[in-house]
């Protein structure tokens, strides 16, 4: 029994399915461009074997452990490292068996599609994961992970990754990226400038971070001008390590365009630690506009990932820290929020801002009309919870009629789960071909155009939008 | 001519339809579990014949009379009892004829599906309702209602109801439930604890209700501690009458977790009748958290039905009172609103809270991510306006990819229209099988798993989630 | 090669497609009723030939030029007239070539469907627009536009327009409409009363407009009573020119029902130019209720088009003025906003209010429940960005189950692009037949009823709802 249906995600209707298949045949083997994600550059720098199956698939993947938690399994029993010293499960096989015996929870989820894709294509497994097959899986995957062909660089090549972007803090020394560069290995791994630690006054250790930001750049970060210069220095440093883009993960999409003196006064308040919550929001807002201005100087593409209420559970955050599956989207407005930035620089040639949302209600109401007018705006693919077949369908159906295909940027996998990368791109390619096939059979797109768009969505738009 | 298409609600595509049919065959005849609704326990206690067709189908059903009102027919002409003494139509046949001559208004609505299902399967009618057939219908239904086989208990058995939950006020004496218990009849009718009358300071007669709450429990409801004890006493009383769940119908989902002294002071204000609107909202919010704590004590499942702006038309409310089809949903936030409750008890083993919404925008943005993380949260089925084929489709498509099937609780009919119960469960079973079939033909779910999930959705999940 | 697929927009499934085709055959040739739009009455009054292809298709159509702008082409290069004296392209052929070479941007958009429909059916073109075919197109269209058969009145007849409504300011002298009336030409062109210039305190020249409003009506617009009388006079004048409806394009749907003295004081403030932003919003709100009262007097149908944040880009507005594709929807609430008006007159027999939205989240949550209860409310078709195949599908799927078909009003093209009118109505008829066919094949509507509904949606409902 195969885990994967070769026609998965194609429309049920035979005629439409045939068109989807034909489109997919032309894009299935294109190289993978991964312009935004959270893989660990250490993997490619050190090229060590991955540890056991549980630590490859379960422990680091919030898609997986939060679902198990939602059905009453404690995070500690899944080996997720605690922040407060609580003892957690250390036996990989025990973790794996817990996961396996709850595999039915993932029915109907994209996680299930990604996992089965890895199990079948990477580990040649043809029986379903369950309590009964848990040990068979654990042994098979362990055995493979010990092989040279399953080390990070070998997988990178096997996955046909043309380029992958990781994401590092503005304070990161990018040592792994340098190691990769000088190693002689041909894989293209680039970084992305993520300045939250020095842009978000609510970030842990913000004041100390500003001090360090000054030290590593030689700029006077006690003053706003010097602080902006420090960004210039670090952005250049990141560009030397391949970066073509910046990334901004704010709770809202608010932007501001204060006068220089107001901005300086605001900076002075947030630096002193005496800022109010409103000051913090205002400073993040102002910095989006400043970052857009810096992008005009240096050509880096801006990404705005807005709308997540991080660490919703106080207890989970206290016990286990960030990124534990308790980040919940909230309603997010873009039309009023982005106006200050857009009035400041929204018509400037060369500026490129890619917008992401966790609030699907803005696709048709706000994002498509904005991207369908402002030359600087493009729409990122469906993000996080919406990186799924139905999420992609809703995105296409609500965005394309207003913004067209060419104000979108192809696919991002945005993952820290390395093995899921081929699966995620495959899902996106299939979902896009399914959508295009539907347009063709309903007379909304000519077939020759559909082939061209399929290529653009699978490959060209991501490279162009991210200037890779 | 049959009123019902035997393949109704199955996907049009032949291959997918065949899968849906096969799935449906295995669940169509499962007993009906109705864990939440508003049927009248008096029916089963007294087992009197239902009155005429108009008073069975039209007069008590806000789905029906609001649609007729929306096209200019006055409520009074439909025999809906007035609150202010206005004379209303009393001739059942005249009401029925008005309804029949406007039956085309229901085209494309679930009400039409439910009615046709009752007409065909219960009254063996094979011609469409219209002005021409109005009298035929009236006579046929009247004749049947006079028969023993159409009394409430007989219908209960005919509908294969394994259990039905009604909903009673915290102040109700549950006499009908006691009558049913001691009657020797085997039907399982349980109550549900609905404390709005003593929890919502905006409820008619709130202050008097608190006094009575004290009297019937022997608790000192002049103090918050005694008030909470009164809830304990009544919850136990309801559990003696079969209740396994509570139900909370708040205008918003706001929760609070005040200190004991703050809560006592707030209670004192709302009890005195001098509370502000904000106090009222805050008290309802606090009581959701208190109710969750009581559920931890006694194991009752909490239901939160949030988001209806009740009695939108002042004139309709003045003339005809509550539940007259003028309850309009409003935007409802859950992610911020539920945080206080979830921080207080959200990770406690054994707690079960079922969330319902009238704001579909929260399915993918808030509810699925919340239920896909917190162990206490599960999602109720699409409610009220969304208890419909398209509503169910949107629910599945927006919820399952993030929360999975096992953070949902199967179907609720939530109805006061007794005859619609088999129809509603049938619609849900068909819609679920259609959805599952689509997953199967698009390679997202294996066929053997689909059969298991179909059974869970039609039967098992409702029993387990409601601890029935 | 044909540009148009004869089966376009019909469902892919063969059986469903056959039903859609059969339904469409009965409505495709019905006369076009266009009850709301923005064509220029001058065209029909003067009956001059349209200028060149660029000035027919590109320069006046914000759907087209905003998409080109979004990909970096300046408005000036497209010949869009500037407001600030900036020089703009004047060479029609140069504009056309720019448009043609970017025609791929419109893939998957309704604009593409409308354009191809015009190109094929009106200009007998069978090859796709592109850089290569730009001159062929330009020559062919130019040649045709010079012919008598392509003048406005001839096209009106060719399009089989039974009636078209234009939209004029309350201050307009309706001279073109008079010219049409006395010309002896049989085409029915009616106006619509759009009083923004004298109702919206934020409108350019509002104070002067009120003075002029007094002059042309002979009413004392320095007092609120006289101001309302001026509306009465102008509404009567518009009715003499065929108007059956009014139109209100407010940024929100807010209504108010102030006491007479409050309203007079508010009017006094807004007239003096000393009103706050809140006063402006309040006055627009009050005037919606006043307009509803005037509709009760004179029988005119009210349209409310709410929710557009106009002129989002300050720079585009300064350089090019209104209606330049930078109007972005914003979240819009109807349930609280409409309550004052509905409490005032919402149950009055004879009142008709048609609601439109740019916020699709309100379809199922607010608009369908409101229209499914209040007798005065009906729902306009999907508007602007949602006048599209997917937009229509979402509207039907989210509205009909609650409001039914008969609380909707058929189709509006709402366009200033004359040539797109047949295409837009054709898209709507096809989309509706596709939806109805889906209901038929899934057993939710009997086939004979579907034919009746198809006729109603294509023709009857628009005439009845607009009292045409």
Are C431 and C392 spatial neighbours (Cβ–Cβ below 8 Å)? yes
Mean pLDDT, to the nearest integer, of A248-252?
Answer: 96
Report pLDDT for C126. Answer: 96
Decide if C158 touches B, using CB distance below 8 A.
no
- pLDDT tens digits for B299-328? 999 999 999 999 999 999 999 999 999 999
Interchain CB distance below 8 Å, A309 and B336: yes
Are B299 and B467 spatial neighbours (Cβ–Cβ below 8 Å)? yes
Mean pLDDT, to the nearest integer, of B418-436?
Answer: 98
- pLDDT tens digits for C347-402? 999 999 999 999 999 999 999 999 999 999 999 999 999 999 999 999 999 999 99
Give the whole-angstrom CA distance, residue B455 versus residue B461: 9
Report pLDDT for B274. Answer: 84
Give the whole-angstrom CA distance, residue B232 versus residue B212: 15
Residue C80 has pLDDT above 80, yes or no: yes
Interchain CB distance below 8 Å, B70 and C438: no
Beta strands in A345-464 (DSSP E): 353-357, 377-379
Residue C30 burial by Cβ neighbours in a 10 Å radius (0-12, 13-18, 19+): middle
The answer for C 253-272 residues in CB contact with B (under 8 A) is none
Report pLDDT for C268. Answer: 96
- pLDDT tens digits for B265-286? 999 999 998 889 999 999 999 9
What stretch of H or E contains A162? strand A161-165
3-state secondary structure of A182: helix
Decide if A335 touches C, using CB distance below 8 A.
yes
Beta-carbon pairs below 8 A across chains A and C: 135
Give the whole-angstrom CA distance, residue C192 versus residue C181: 15
The answer for B 436-455 residues in CB contact with A (under 8 A) is 438-439, 441-446, 449, 452-453
Residue C420 tokens read as 């797109």
Helix residue spans in C71-160 (DSSP H): 92-101, 110-123, 134-145, 152-158
Write the residue in B333, B343, B443 that is nearest to A331 by C-beta.
B333
Residue range(s) of every CATH 1.10.2020.10 domain in chain B: 51-148
pLDDT band at B378 (very low <50, low <70, confident <90, very high): very high
Are B199 and B248 spatial neighbours (Cβ–Cβ below 8 Å)? yes
Total count of residues recorded for chain B: 468
Report pLDDT for A86. Answer: 87
Interchain CB distance below 8 Å, A390 and B406: no
Which residues of chain C are within 8 Å of residue B7 when distances are taken between CB atoms? 442-443
Going from the C-alpha of A442 to that of each of A13, A24, C94, C99, the distances in angstroms are 12, 18, 33, 25
Query: What angle, 0 to 180 degrees and rounded to 10, lies between the N-to-C axes of helices B110-123 and B420-441?
Result: 120
Give the whole-angstrom CA distance, residue B459 versus residue B453: 10
Mean pLDDT, to the nearest integer, of C19-23?
Answer: 98
- pLDDT tens digits for A292-337? 999 999 999 999 999 999 999 999 999 999 999 999 999 999 999 9
> What is the DSSP annotation of A275-321?
--HHHHHHHHHHHHHHHHHHHHHH-PEEEEEE-EE----HHHHHHH-
Give the whole-angstrom CA distance, residue C365 versus residue B357: 10
Write the residue in A7, A108, A328 that is nearest to B445 by C-beta.
A108
Residue C84 has pLDDT above 90, yes or no: no
pLDDT band at C86 (very low <50, low <70, confident <90, very high): confident
Are C133 and C127 spatial neighbours (Cβ–Cβ below 8 Å)? yes
Interchain CB distance below 8 Å, B72 and C375: yes
Give CATH for domain B51-148: 1.10.2020.10
Report pLDDT for B264. Answer: 97
Report pLDDT for B245. Answer: 98
What stretch of H or E contains A396? helix A389-403
Give CATH for domain B14-50+149-465: 3.20.20.140
Report pLDDT for B277. Answer: 94
- pLDDT tens digits for B185-225? 999 999 999 999 999 999 989 999 999 999 999 999 999 99
Are B374 and A313 spatial neighbours (Cβ–Cβ below 8 Å)? yes
Fold of A49-150: uronate isomerase, domain 2, chain A (1.10.2020)
How close A62 gets to chain C, by Cα (Å)? Answer: 29
Residue range(s) of every CATH 3.20.20.140 domain in chain B: 14-50+149-465
Residue C141 has pLDDT above 90, yes or no: yes
Which residues of chain C are within 8 Å of residue A401 when distances are taken between CB atoms? 108-110, 385, 388-391
Residue range(s) of every CATH 3.20.20.140 domain in chain A: 14-48+152-465
Are C156 and C187 spatial neighbours (Cβ–Cβ below 8 Å)? yes
Report pLDDT for B84. Answer: 86
Write the residue in B10, B72, B128 that is nearest to C442 by C-beta.
B10
What's phi and psi for A385, nearest 5 deg? -60, -20
Distance, first Cα to last Cα, chain B:
40
Which residues of chain B are within 8 Å of residue C257 when distances are taken between CB atoms? none
How close C244 gets to chain B, by Cα (Å)? Answer: 20
Interchain CB distance below 8 Å, B342 and A309: no
Report pLDDT for C274. Answer: 84
User: What's the DSSP call for residue A54?
Assistant: I
Among C119, C146, C125, residue whose Cα is nearest residue C51: C146
Mean pLDDT, to the nearest integer, of A92-121?
Answer: 98
Report pLDDT for A385. Answer: 98
Decide if C350 touches B, using CB distance below 8 A.
no
3-state secondary structure of A450: helix
Residue B343 tokens read as 């921080």
Write the residue in A377, A401, A449 that is nearest to C109 by C-beta.
A401
> How many Å separate Cα B152 from the centre of its chain?
19
Q: What is the mean pLDDT of chain C?
A: 97
Best mutation target among B7, B9, B12, B434 (most C Cβ atoms within 10 Å) is B12
Give the whole-angstrom CA distance, residue A342 versus residue A337: 10
3-state secondary structure of B51: coil
Interchain CB distance below 8 Å, B333 and A328: no
A14-48+152-465 CATH pick, 3.30.70.100, 3.40.190.290, 3.40.50.720, 3.20.20.140: 3.20.20.140
Which residues of chain C are within 8 Å of residue A403 when distances are taken between CB atoms? 70
Query: What angle, 0 to 180 degrees and rounded to 10, lies between the N-to-C axes of helices A420-441 and A14-27?
Result: 130
Residue A96 tokens read as 């794996």
Decide if B330 touches A, using CB distance below 8 A.
no
Are A357 and A351 spatial neighbours (Cβ–Cβ below 8 Å)? no
Interchain CB distance below 8 Å, A336 and C309: yes
Beta-carbon pairs below 8 A across chains B and C: 133
Which residues of chain C are within 8 Å of residue B109 when distances are taken between CB atoms? 400-402, 404
Interchain CB distance below 8 Å, A375 and C72: yes
Decide if A150 touches B, using CB distance below 8 A.
no
Mean pLDDT, to the nearest integer, of B17-23?
Answer: 98
Interchain CB distance below 8 Å, A375 and C71: yes
Residue C246 has pLDDT above 80, yes or no: yes
Are A297 and A287 spatial neighbours (Cβ–Cβ below 8 Å)? no
Give the whole-angstrom CA distance, residue C363 versus residue A462: 34
Residue range(s) of every CATH 1.10.2020.10 domain in chain A: 49-150
pLDDT band at A417 (very low <50, low <70, confident <90, very high): very high
Residue B444 has pLDDT above 80, yes or no: yes
Report pLDDT for A110. Answer: 98
3-state secondary structure of C6: coil
Are C61 and C416 spatial neighbours (Cβ–Cβ below 8 Å)? yes
Query: What angle, 0 to 180 degrees and rounded to 10, lies between the N-to-C axes of helices C420-441 and C14-27?
Result: 130
User: Above pLDDT 90, what percent of chain A?
Assistant: 98
Which residues of chain B are within 8 Å of residue C15 when distances are taken between CB atoms? 12, 14
Which residues of chain C are within 8 Å of residue B330 when distances are taken between CB atoms? 333, 335-336, 365-366
Pairing of strands A308-309, A328-329: antiparallel
Give the whole-angstrom CA distance, residue A138 versus residue C280: 68
Decide if B69 touches C, using CB distance below 8 A.
yes
């Amino acid at each position: 029994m195969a885990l994967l249906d070769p026609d998965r995600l194609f429309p049920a209707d035979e005629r439409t399915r045939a068109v989807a298949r034909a489109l997919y045949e032309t894009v299935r083997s294109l190289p993978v461009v991964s312009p935004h994600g959270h893989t660990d550059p250490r993997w490619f720098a050190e090229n060590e074997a991955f540890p056991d199956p549980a630590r490859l698939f379960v422990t680091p993947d919030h898609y997986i452990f939060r679902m198990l938690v939602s059905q009453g399994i404690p995070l500690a029993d899944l080996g997720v490292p605690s922040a407060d010293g609580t003892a957690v499960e250390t036996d990989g096989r025990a973790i794996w068996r817990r996961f396996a015996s709850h595999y039915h929870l993932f029915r109907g989820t994209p996680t299930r599609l990604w996992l089965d894709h890895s199990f079948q294509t990477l580990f040649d497994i043809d029986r379903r994961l369950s309590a009964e097959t848990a040990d068979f899986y654990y042994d098979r995957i362990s055995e493979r992970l010990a092989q040279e062909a399953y080390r990070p660089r070998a997988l990178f090549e096997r996955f046909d990754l043309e380029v992958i972007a990781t994401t590092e803090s503005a304070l990161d020394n990018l040592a792994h990226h340098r190691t990769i560069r000088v190693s002689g290995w041909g894989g293209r791994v680039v970084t992305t400038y993520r300045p939250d630690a020095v842009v978000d006054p609510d970030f842990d250790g913000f004041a100390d971070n500003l001090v360090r930001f000054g030290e590593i750049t030689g700029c006077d970060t006690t003053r706003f001008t010097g602080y902006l210069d420090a960004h210039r220095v670090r952005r250049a440093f990141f560009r030397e390590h391949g970066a073509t883009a910046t990334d901004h993960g704010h709770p809202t999409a608010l932007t501001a365009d204060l006068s220089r003196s107001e901005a300086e006064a605001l900076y002075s308040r947030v630096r002193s630690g005496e800022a109010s919550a409103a000051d913090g929001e205002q400073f993040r807002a102002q910095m989006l506009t400043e970052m857009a201005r810096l992008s005009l100087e240096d050509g880096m593409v801006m990404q705005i990932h807005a709308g997540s209420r991080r660490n919703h559970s106080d207890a989970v955050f206290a016990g286990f820290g960030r990124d534990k599956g308790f980040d919940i989207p909230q309603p997010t407005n873009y039309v009023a929020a982005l106006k200050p930035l857009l009035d400041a620089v929204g018509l400037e040639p060369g500026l490129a801002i890619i917008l992401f949302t966790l609030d699907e209600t803005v696709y048709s109401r706000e994002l498509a009309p904005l991207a369908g007018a402002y030359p600087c705006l493009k729409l990122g693919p469906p993000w996080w919870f919406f990186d799924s077949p139905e999420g992609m369908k809703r995105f296409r159906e609500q965005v394309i009629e207003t913004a067209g295909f060419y104000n979108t940027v192809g696919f991002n996998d945005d993952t820290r789960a390395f093995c899921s990368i081929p699966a995620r791109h495959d899902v996106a390619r299939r979902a896009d071909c399914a959508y295009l096939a539907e347009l063709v059979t309903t007379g909304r797109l000519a077939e020759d155009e559909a082939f061209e768009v399929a290529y653009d969505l699978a490959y060209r738009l991501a490279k162009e939008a991210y200037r890779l």
